[in-house]
Amino acid sequence: MLTFLMWIVLFVLCWPLALVALLLYPLVWLLLLPFRIVGIAVSGVLQLVWEVVTLPVTILRLLTGRKAHARP
C-alpha cells in the first residue's frame, strides 16, 4: 500500500517519470529474477549443510531424552 501511495505522489509531482517507472518495473523484475532463484537455492543448500552438521547432536538428544536447554 505504501508503494502505491508513493507512486501516486510521484505521478502527481512528475508524471513522465512515474510512467517510465511503471513501464520499467517489469523489466527490472525479470532481470533480477535469476538472482532471487540463486539466493533461494543457496539458502536451501546452507540449510541442508547445517542440518547435516547438527544431526549427530539431534540424534543424541533423542536417544538420551534430554531437552535442548536442560542442565546435567
Q: Report d(CA 66, CA 29) in Å as an integer.
A: 48
Residue 70 above 60 pLDDT? no
- Torsion sign, CA atoms 20, 26, 27, 28: positive
Q: For 53-67, what is each residue's pLDDT tens digit?
A: 999 888 888 888 866
Q: For 2-59, what is each residue's pLDDT tens digit?
A: 988 988 998 899 989 888 988 999 999 999 999 999 999 999 999 999 999 999 888 8
pLDDT at 63: 87
pLDDT at 68: 61
pLDDT at 71: 58
